[in-house]
Amino acid sequence: MGSSSVNDPNIMEEGGQQLDHVIGDRNVAERSRMLLNAPQPPGLCSEFVSSVKDIVNLPNGNKSYSGEKKKPELKQHVGTVLRGLFPILSWGRIYTLSKFKSDLMSGLTLASLSIPQSIGYANLAKLDPQYGLYTNVVPPLIYALMGSSREIAIGPVAVVSLLLSSMVQKIVDPVEDPTGYKRFVFTVTLFAGTFQAAFGLLRLGFLIDFLSHSAIVGFMGGAAIVIGLQQLKGLLGFTHFTNNTDVISVVRAVWRSFHDPWSPHNFILGCSFLIFILFARFLGRRNKKLFWLPAIAPLISVILSTLIVYLTRADKHGVRIVKHINKGLNPSSAKELQFSGPNVGEAAKTGLICAIIALTEAIAVGRSFAAIKGYHIDGNKEMVAIGFTNILGSLTSCYVATGSFSRTAVNFSAGCQTAISNVVMALTVILALEFLTRLLYYTPTAILASIILSALPGLIDINGARNIYRIDKYDFLACFGTFLGVLFASVEIGLLIAVTISFSRIILNSIRPGINNLGQLPGTNNFCSTSQFPMAIKIPGVLILRVESSYLGFANANYIRERILKWVTEEQENEESKENARTLQVLVLDMSNVLNIDTSGIHALEELHKELVSLDLQLAIASPTWKVMHKMKISKYMDIIGSGWIFLTVSEAVDACIGSKMVISLPC
């Protein structure tokens, strides 16, 4: 039905006649005909199909990494798929001894940082210390097989540990029911891994884009402060602390704890080693050759403080220590997963949120280091890799692992070449689990707290926030809102604020679009906004307005119509007050920005036309886009305003008005 009117000879004829009458220029008429005879734009169904195809066929950055092209043979095809799933099959064949040397060094450096950090993160996740170490064994090994980033360091991270404990402890109390808590955490890990792998396999990589960069800056900043406040418990050696993560609860808990008896030894020990770690980092930054110093400082702190406690028996004097760490490799946790009971839905929800945050961090980390080395990371592939990492992790007593900001930077500056550095790190952690757990018995918890505290400044990106503020105030609102939400409410509320503010921007943009008055740029045929180009000259008798919205529809059609009418009446009043003889004759509506229109939009245009007729004004439409043109045709709107009043450009519309002597030409 729609397409029949497109080629309706009557409309064309009438259009042509009117055009000749008005303009008398065959050339313009011909161009107008091009506009009228455009092919039909793709419909909803074909758009949906092409969008799905798009998702499935997005450029696969990993191909350039493997350096292979698809070949039709089955064997070759299987090879390609396998190499796609396990990039190690590609780069493993060109792996050299010199690369291994670099990877060995960086792997060992990484391990020296990972061991104390992961014990601290397990503490933050309210798990026993060995679970942090376990999470540093299986996930890095799996990722080395499946991942495509060469620098990323996989393992437990601060933000996910915090998120996990803050969400899970609302459902299972880690003190009253430690086994149930542990089982729930493994179940959450399995769900998180499954969601991540599913996102990757279904090519839903764009989902993580919904957390905008600015929201992540705010989220990370807020989370860093919350994590830092949680460390006060370890640093000050408190026994009673709050389970809430918001600033107010924590400050209140700290205040209350000061009234209980507490030992200052913890604080002195923790602070002195914190200063040592920070000083080591300062030295490492000043002198690039000392890059290993900040990486190894945490391990040195652990060794020294453990020795001090062991020799002075300070644990008898109120210094809190790690105590028992289970010896041996990761036990299987397959039987601990729970798929029945009332909390499975909660586990899935927690898993989803952890999955998204973990992916966001991993992909941001992976991409930024890949950009430095000049290769591309395919988000969907990374999701699959991280997903399987966590699925297998959940079966081997690991909790949610992802790429860590701080350790990846250490890995990079230690000169890692491939994911083998992760393997080296995992093997070192295995050795530590076998032989060193008894030595860690006397490690003071204050040292773990100070190691975590020292890693936090990297999460607070003040420069990034300042940059966001400078470039885009609304983005800063999202950033700051998320920050405050995480700080004063909870991690989930912060995320909710982030998504809400980000999406409300898209919606606000659509429901309150701008309308701009256009004028001719001197010496050109271009018509530009008079606010952007104050030198643009208005054409007397013609009001040219541009609708600044990509969508003219239910949410804004009425508003746009009223704004246009307001502009018209103001212009008329203006002319009357000037006692200007040349009154307004034509309204040219530049629709070049309107990419789509719906039935409400068409209806508003119809009403606008009626109202303009009652004001004795002619409506001309300039540069309608493809879909708008098509819908104006099938809705017969074009018959209402006359197809001779539709122009390819604003300048042609103005020429037509001047040519038809409706308005007086301006000498320019």
Return the range that interacts with a copy of itself (CB under 8 A); candidates 34-42, 265-273, 302-310, 326-334.
Answer: 34-42
Work out whether 470 is an interface residue with a copy of itself (CB under 8 A): yes
Give the span between the Cα atoms of 580 and 13, in whole angstroms.
Answer: 38
Q: Please identify which residue in 278, 565, 640, 662 interacts with a copy of itself, judged by CB under 8 A.
A: 565
Pairwise CA distance, residues 172 & 129, whole Å: 19
Nearest distance, CB of residue 397 and a copy of itself, angstroms: 35
The torsion angles phi and psi of 621, rounded to 5 degrees, stand at -115, 125
Binding a copy of itself (rule: CB under 8 A), the pick from 551, 608, 619, 644 is 551
Q: Is 32 in the site for a copy of itself (CB under 8 A)?
A: no
The answer to whether the CB of 515 falls within 8 A of the CB of 547 is yes
Residues 6+ apart with CB under 8 A from 318: 237, 262, 263, 265, 266
Residue from 204, 315, 626, 640 touching a copy of itself (CB under 8 A): that is 626
d(CA 70, CA 165): 45
Give the integer Cα–Cα distance in Å for 432 and 110: 13
Please report whether residue 484 would count as binding a copy of itself according to CB under 8 A. no
- Does 574 bind a copy of itself (CB under 8 A)? Our answer is no
DSSP element (H, E) containing 154: strand 154-155
Two tokens, residue 183: 């089982």
Contact status: 634 vs a copy of itself (CB under 8 A): yes
Q: Which of residues 184-213 bind a copy of itself (CB under 8 A)?
A: 206, 209-213
Q: Is 467 in the site for a copy of itself (CB under 8 A)?
A: yes
502 touches a copy of itself (CB under 8 A):
yes
Distance between CA atoms of residues 506 and 504, nearest Å: 5
> Residue 43 CB, nearest distance to a copy of itself (Å)?
6
The CA distance from 36 to 630, in Å, is: 8
- 54/434 with CB nearer a copy of itself: 54
Binders of a copy of itself in range 324-383 (CB under 8 A)? 371, 374, 376, 379
H or E, element range at 186? helix 178-201
Kindly state the smallest distance separating residue 210's Cβ from a copy of itself, in Å.
6
7 binds a copy of itself (CB under 8 A): no
Q: Which is nearer to a copy of itself, 557 or 641 (CB)?
A: 557
Q: Is 631 in the site for a copy of itself (CB under 8 A)?
A: yes
Choose which of 599, 615, 616, 664 interacts with a copy of itself (CB under 8 A).
Answer: 599
CB of 122 or CB of 632, closer to a copy of itself: 632
Of 246 and 475, the one with the shorter C-beta distance to a copy of itself is: 475
Least distance to a copy of itself from the beta carbon of 346, Å? 24
Q: Does 17 bind a copy of itself (CB under 8 A)?
A: no
Interface residue with a copy of itself among 8, 472, 575, 655 (CB under 8 A) is 472
Residues 521-550 close enough to bind a copy of itself by CB under 8 A: 521, 523-526, 528-529, 531-535, 548-550
Using CA atoms in the order 73, 79, 80, 83, what is the torsion angle rounded to 10 degrees?
180
Tally of CA atoms within 13 A in the half-sphere of 616 that contains its CB: 6
Quote the DSSP letter at residue 461: -
Nearer to a copy of itself, 237 or 513 (CB): 513
| From 512, 574, 580, 616, residue interacting with a copy of itself (rule: CB under 8 A) | 512
29 is written with which tokens? 């008429």
DSSP string, 348-407: HHHHHHHHHHHHHHHHHHHHHHHHHHT----HHHHHHHHHHHHHHHHHTT----EE-HHH
Nearest distance from residue 594's CB to a copy of itself, in Å? 9
* Residue 1 CB neighbours (<10 A): 5
Instruction: List binders of a copy of itself among 84-103 (CB under 8 A).
Output: none
| Burial per residue of 192-206, b for 16 or more beta-carbon CB atoms within 10 angstroms, e otherwise | bbbbbbebbeebebe
What are the DSSP calls for 549-606, one per residue? -SEESTTTHHHHHHHHHHHHHHHHHHHHHTT-SS---EEEEE-TT--EE-HHHHHHHH
**Positions 262 through 291 that interact with a copy of itself (CB under 8 A):** none
* Gap between the Cα atoms of 572 and 612, Å rounded: 12
Q: Does 500 bind a copy of itself (CB under 8 A)?
A: no
CB of 17 to a copy of itself, least distance (A): 22
Query: Interacting stretch for a copy of itself, rule CB under 8 A, among 92-100, 312-320, 420-428, 597-605?
Result: 597-605
Torsional sign, CA 623, 627, 629, 631: negative
Shortest distance, position 39 Cβ to a copy of itself, whole Å = 7
- What are the CA-CA distances from residue 442 to residues 236, 307, 311, 318, 437 (Å)? 17, 8, 10, 13, 10
Q: Considering CB under 8 A, how many residues would be counted as binding a copy of itself?
A: 97
Q: Does 640 bind a copy of itself (CB under 8 A)?
A: no
Among 171, 296, 493, 595, binds a copy of itself (CB under 8 A): 595
